[in-house]
Structure 1
Amino acid sequence: MNKITINDIAKKVGVAKSTVSRYLNGGVVKDETKKIIEKVIEETNYKPNAFARLKAKQKKIIGLIMPRLDSPTASRMVATLERYLRLKGYLVLIINTDNNQETELENIENLWRMNVDGIIIVATTVTEKHEEYIKKLDIPIIFVGQRIKNGVSIIYNDFEAGMKMGEYLGERVSSNVMYLCVDKSDMAVGIERKKGILKGLKNKGVTDIKCVHTDFTFNKTYKIVRDEMKKKRSDAIICSTDLQALAVYKVANEFGIKIPEELSITGFGGYEVSELVNPKLTTIRLDSEVMGHITAETMIKLLNEEDS
């Protein structure tokens, strides 16, 4: 007679292997599902592997997928999030994707197969594949920074932040504004923040705006802004992030442009390093510590109330 495995139990119950594993290791499982699992185990005389159960009990794990690890806001968020979850008895397993979407998607499934308790994704974009995972996987998944349908998202109000910045600058500059925007695949910054900025400027009567596409990196932004300023100098540059703004400061210094007398520069983020530039950068601070705390707190709530 073939030995009964945890996969066999899961198939008979009609749930994922991780749900059965959670039950065997004392995790939270819906009462109705728990009764069915208990009945199938009794009927099959299933004997779980004692070593595997001991190993599983050693650590409760949350997977954290990051697009990059060199962002100041990301590091602050991760530190807060990790500390909160550690105090709740969880180990945070961090995976860096280097902004590679395929790597991100692969690791969502990899973490699930590793039987982690939950997954947090600091997302740069949301695709149909992400939506499929929300429906398919039976563990809590939280998206940070991007909104996902039928799932849990922790986001900034990028439209409101953008509009406030647009209005602020629109009161000080009437024309010849450059806006450093990012790809539309980034719903939060590439669409919502952009809409807010343009609306804020329009509210103040500013319509002479040139949108210049770049990414979130310092080097690419520096090269693009340098080339643009060689062709025509702007009176103001609105950056999508503080890191972009620091690249603009470098260009301005090389060109001998006085800030803010000849060029106004604004950003988003509120990085500590932004305090080092002179004159001080005008920016909207995104509270990444609060974001990390809320994300971790939400994950614990989902784990405690999980309906699976």
Structure 2
Amino acid sequence: MTMKELAQIAGVSCAAVSRYINGGPLSQEKRECIRAAIEETGYQPDAAAQMLRTGSTDYIGLIIPKIDSGAVTRITAGVVSVLEEAGFFALLADTANDVNKELAYLSLCQNHQVAGIIMLATFMTPQLEEGLRSLNVPIVVVGQKFWQVPCVYHDDFGAAYELTNLVLAKNRSKLAFIGVTEQDVAVGLNRRKGVQASVKDYGMAPEALLVEIAPFSVEGGCIAMEKLLKKEPNIDGVICATDYIALGAMETLRKAGKRLPEDVSVIGMDDNWAGNHIIPHLTTAHFYYKTSGEKAAKLLLEMIENKGKPGPVHQIMLGYTIKNRDSV
């Protein structure tokens, strides 16, 4: 069905239908006639035609690093709930942690004139920095704090610091940290710095903390814990950058004959669903991932509304809640 045919059914002009679809001024009577005609016919406006008329569409590019992540799922749910309420649609792009795919999707979104982009970022590269700088559509980054880029991120340092304090309060003296690549500034670098700051403030030498880097997986936690036990068999406190890594570390510790938490305290971060369904229940930090998605979407919609107008670069840091369970 064409716009002209819809206009005939509604008894209005094509210009009136165009104004209705694109949010232009229109009397309430004509709006009701057009709305009724759309419901009757199931008419859907052509996105390409809308792009030619307005320079953009009602679509938001949502670029994520991987689909099989609890944090990504929660952030995506927050984003989509706000966009749907505002009449926008999310186009999901999964980069599978591939930097080149990330850049390609940024370019694709821009070339197809989406109204804006929300990107769940992992780490900054010179190529990504250049790509962000060259964008001519609004963008909000979630999960990382990038210089001069609107973003919503988390207090990873503070959460790691407070969790480590819980372990130290149990008089643990042989500590280890299982982290992730520090190209990921939020999860890798900031969480490691939080742990080290807590150790230092407690009066322990920073070099007394053993550090091992692992992939974002249970298996990665298993392997990293095996390496740590070879270095120091009497480890009595393990701080992990994620809950999945903590689950793997716990598995290895049990196989080594360690009692949890009697012999070894273990903590994770992210408050993954699995942490509350194992024995002992995992002590962790809850980050407000769904809220971060909601705030990112609201910030982007505000930027779209004010497109072209100068304004501040909003960078929002969200807090966390410690879930002090049984593993410390």
Task: Indicate whether the TM-score tops 0.5.
Answer: yes
Q: What code does the residue aligned with 1:263 have?
A: V
- Tell me the number of residue pairs that the alignment of Structure 1 and Structure 2 aligns: 263
Contact 1:171 1:204 in 2 (8 A): no
Quote the Cα distance in structure 2 between the aligned partners of 1:120 and 1:211: 33
Q: Which stretch shows the higher mean deviation, 216-225 or 104-113?
A: 216-225
Deviates more, 1:219-228 or 1:190-199: 219-228
Q: 1:180 aligns with which of 168, 174, 178?
A: 178
In structure 2, the partner of 1:42 is none
The correspondence for 1:53, drawn from 46, 49, 54, is: 49
Q: Which TM-score applies when normalising by structure 2?
A: 0.75
- Cα 1:190–1:54 change in 2 (3 A) is closer
Task: Give the superposition deviation at 1:256.
Answer: 2.7
- 1:93 to 1:268, Cα distance in 2 relative to 1, 3 A: same
Shift of 1:231: 4.8
Q: Do 1:169 and 1:201's aligned partners in 2 also have CA atoms closer than 8 Å?
A: no
Task: Note the alpha carbon deviations across 1:16-64, whole angstroms, 9 max, x for none.
Answer: xxxxxxxxx9589xxxxxxxxxxxxxxxxxxxxx994157789611111
Deviation (angstroms), 1:68: 1.0
Report if the CA contact (8 A) 1:167-1:203 is conserved. no
Against the structure 1 CA distance between its residues 250 and 55, is the aligned structure 2 distance closer, same or farther, given a 3 Å change threshold?
same
Match of 2:82 in 1: 84
Equivalence for 2:237: 236
Note the alpha carbon deviations across 1:68-121, whole angstroms, 9 max, x for none: 111112111111211111111111111111111111111111111121111111
Answer whether contact 2:271 2:286 (CA < 8 A) is retained.
Answer: yes
Write out per-residue CA displacement over residues 199-221 of structure 1, whole angstroms, 9 at most, x where no aligned residue: 01211123321011112122222
Counterparts of 1:138-287 in structure 2, within 5 Å, are: 138-207=136-205, 208-233=208-233, 234-287=235-288
How many Å separate the matches in 2 of 1:214 and 1:27? 50
CA contact (8 A) 2:156 2:194 kept: yes
Structure 2 match to 1:289: 290
Counterpart code for 1:229: L
Percent of aligned pairs sharing the same letter: 26
> Is structure 2 residue 303 aligned with structure 1 residue 302?
yes
| Distance across 2 between alignment mates of 1:52 and 1:289 | 31
1:228 shift after superposition: 2.9
Distance 1:195 1:54 in 2: 48
SS at match of 2:71: helix
The TM-score, its normalising length taken from structure 1, stands at 0.79
Which moves more between the two structures, 287-296 or 53-62?
Answer: 53-62
Gaps of 5+ in 2: 1-20, 25-45, 310-328
Contact map agreement 1:181 1:240 (CA 8 A) in 2: yes
Q: Is the 8 A contact 1:219 1:247 kept in 2?
A: yes
Structure 1 unpaired stretches of 5+? 1-24, 29-49
The answer on whether the counterparts of 2:63 and 2:93 sit within 8 Å (CA) in structure 1 is: yes
